[in-house]
Amino acid sequence: MGRQPCCDKLGVKKGPWTAEEDKKLVNFIITHGHCCWRSVPKLAGLRRCGKSCRLRWTNYLRPDLKRGLLNDDEEQLVIDLHARLGNRWSKIAARLPGRTDNEIKNHWNTHIKKKLTKMGIDPVTHEPLHQPDTPYEASDGAAINDHQPKDCGNVSSTTTELSPLTDESRSSSESGNEEDPLMNVIWSEVFLNDLSWNFTGLSSREEYGELDTLSWSLDNRNILDDHQSFGFGGFGEIDFNSLDINTTIKSSLP
């Protein structure tokens, strides 16, 4: 007897999540938690497989997630950790509060890999690619010494401990991270139990279209402020590592 598929392939929706699905999932998890991902979609009224729900929650909907690009501190830490741990993205992510393995993996593949290659460093081994005739130019224009130390410390000589970002570095690193306006909307909708939520019937990107246009900028502060004015202040001050999710969320309610 073969193993049961993780979900019934028939009738299971795939592809981008809609705002309504997000809301259902968030609603369900804050109410019931996620005892068993396999049963979450059924109980939450979603036509998704449990795996997809788990991924959506951990990579996008979790309230303790930071949004936006990794800043320099975080990027540096990722490089350091990658030099020691290799492609163990979940282990690396565990050292960066508010970041997911998927996010870090994506950032590595799209940004850091190129950056290191450009600097003449093999992104896999963290060793110099070859001995150049002339020093490499770093992306910021600084010349890189062509005799890089063997260890990844070549890239970072500052961060040597396998520890999460300190509060100091974290707070300084958060300067470039705005809260996701969309997430604020979803969460505020969930908390306020606003029945006017109605995105049904639109394709996902279109669904989020208007919200997507709220690109990362200081202007978005107006929107965030609006939500805060409704009594929803976000999760910035909550330590999700030490608190039960249900307790935390409920206690953060106005």
Spatial separation of the C-alpha atoms in residues 163 and 73, rounded to whole Å: 13
Region for 120 from its dihedrals, namely left if φ exceeds 0, alpha if ψ lies in -120 to 50, beta otherwise:
left
Binding residues with DNA: total (CB under 7 A): 43
Assess 202 for contact with DNA (CB under 7 A): no
- For DNA, give the closer residue by CB, 204 or 228: 204
Assess 140 for contact with DNA (CB under 7 A): no
Show the binding pattern over residues 109-138: x = contacts DNA (CB under 7 A), - = does not. Answer: xxx--x------------------------
Stretch that binds DNA, among 144-152, 190-198, 203-211, 221-229 (CB under 7 A): 203-211
Question: Judged by CB under 7 A, which of 59, 172, 220, 248 binds DNA?
Answer: 59
Question: Judged by CB under 7 A, which of 103, 179, 189, 207 binds DNA?
Answer: 103
Q: How far is the CB of 30 from DNA (least distance, A)?
A: 17
Question: Judged by CB under 7 A, which of 47, 84, 97, 102 binds DNA?
Answer: 102
Is the Cβ–Cβ distance between 24 and 46 less than 8 Å? yes
Question: Judged by CB under 7 A, which of 4, 134, 200, 229 binds DNA?
Answer: 4
What residues are paired with 137 via a beta bridge?
143
Spatial separation of the C-alpha atoms in residues 178 and 174, rounded to whole Å: 8
- Where in 66-85 is the site for DNA (CB under 7 A)? 69
Tokens standing for residue 101: 């393995």
User: Nearest 5°: CA angle at 248, between 172 and 70?
Assistant: 30
Q: How far is residue 77 from each of residues 67, 148, 177, 186, 226, measured CA to CA in Å?
A: 17, 18, 17, 31, 34
Spatial separation of the C-alpha atoms in residues 56 and 54, rounded to whole Å: 5
Amino acid (1-letter code) at residue 238: I
- For DNA, give the closer residue by CB, 143 or 162: 162
- For DNA, give the closer residue by CB, 110 or 166: 110
Assess 220 for contact with DNA (CB under 7 A): no
Q: How far is the CB of 157 from DNA (least distance, A)?
A: 25
Is the Cβ–Cβ distance between 160 and 76 less than 8 Å? no
Place of tokens 């938690």: 33
Assess 162 for contact with DNA (CB under 7 A): no
**SS3 of 144, please?**
strand
Q: Which residues bind DNA (CB under 7 A)?
A: 1, 3-4, 6, 13-17, 36-38, 48, 50-52, 54-56, 59-60, 69, 87-91, 101-103, 105-107, 109-111, 114, 203-205, 209, 212, 215
